[in-house]
Amino acid sequence: MATEVNGRPREAFHRLLAPFVAFWCLLVPSTARPTPHHTIRIGIAGTNGAITKVKRLDVEKYLLGVLPQEMAPEWPIEALKAQAVVARTYAYSQLGRFGGQGFDLTSDTRSQVYKKPAAPAPLVRRAVTETAGEVLGWRGKLLGIYYHACCGGHTTSPNSAWGYTKPAPPPLRGVADRYCRHSPYAHWSSYVSAKDLLASLGHKRLLGATLRSFSIAAKDRAGYALWFKARIGGRTLRFAAYRVRQALGNALPSLRIMKIRRSKAGYEFFGEGLGHGVGLCQWGARGMADRGYRYEAILKHYFPGSVLSVVVN
Ligand SMILES: [Zn+2]
């Protein structure tokens, strides 16, 4: 999963995806299926983030080292195959991103996490080989790709999740999802102290002020908070919800917040889902796979209108 497998918040790189769609990639429908062997350059990051060496790898081999970091390797094969297509689409969309530094992707959370596998789990190998070369396209280009652990009932758009102003393409506008309801992240509650909440609002002059109330001012149609409203001292101010969540770190598992209740010296948030909520819901993919859906149907559900394609040059 994007978040819980390695315990690291995995949202930073997802924010960066859309601008890097590789415009030169020629896509054809996946039924044409040539055997693609494209090489990518991975900047291997040390523990402090510094790149220690650059490794050239076939994209398909690279995915063998990515998939186990992004989804539990014992999950159903069709969920793993959906994840393989999404991770491959991401890899192609990032070609040249760090070109000035001599590589395409990093091996850490700035891109997708890659670790050389000692021996890939059989299901991981199957998921990669049985989807070899397949990516998601839209209107002949690679789709800017996103994924998250659990949407809690509805996915959303990059506009809601990160305040993008450019309209999202139809495959990224959000869908209702009943397949992740058994996820351990389907419902959550989280306490945030008034002090931390004030600090997250990003105004130095608000520090030390009194937070008199905190509530949701606006939501999108998928139920994600777009704006919070805070009464501070004698003033009522609005704050972009995604910025507040970024500032609070893991304290708000998602922005699909159902209720906020004043509690002790702070506020209790009640919400659904884990992660930004855009694109593939991994727990939903698992739920669909458990019900017998194939990966093509899973991808169609979460990215309606996208076309399963292969990159040919
Ligand atoms: Zn979901």
Averaged over 184-210, what is the pLDDT?
Answer: 86
Please, which pLDDT band fits residue 313 given cuts at 50, 70 and 90? low
What is the CA(284)–ligand 1 centre distance, in A? Answer: 4
Burial of residue 122 (CB within 10 Å: 0-12, 13-18, 19+) is exposed
248-306 pLDDT per residue, tens = 988 999 999 999 999 989 999 999 999 999 999 999 999 999 999 999 999 999 999 99
Amino acid code (one letter) for 257:
I
Q: Are 271 and 216 in contact (CB under 8 A)?
A: no
What is the CA(65)–ligand 1 centre distance, in A? Answer: 25
308 pLDDT above the threshold of 60: yes
What is the CA(292)–ligand 1 centre distance, in A? Answer: 17
What is the CA(40)–ligand 1 centre distance, in A? Answer: 31
Count CB atoms within 10 A of the CB of residue 259: 11
- Cβ within 8 Å of residue 215, ≥6 positions away: 228, 229, 230, 260
What is the CA(60)–ligand 1 centre distance, in A? Answer: 27
Count CA atoms within 13 Å of residue 114 on its CB side: 29
Percent of the chain exceeding pLDDT 90 equals 71
Averaged over 206-226, what is the pLDDT?
Answer: 91
What is the CA(8)–ligand 1 centre distance, in A? Answer: 20
What is the CA(277)–ligand 1 centre distance, in A? Answer: 8
- What is the sign, positive or negative, of the torsion defined by CA atoms of 46, 3, 64, 135? negative
Q: For the whole model, what pTM was predicted?
A: 0.86
The better pLDDT of the pair 208, 138 is held by 138
Tokens (6 digits) for 219: 């939501």
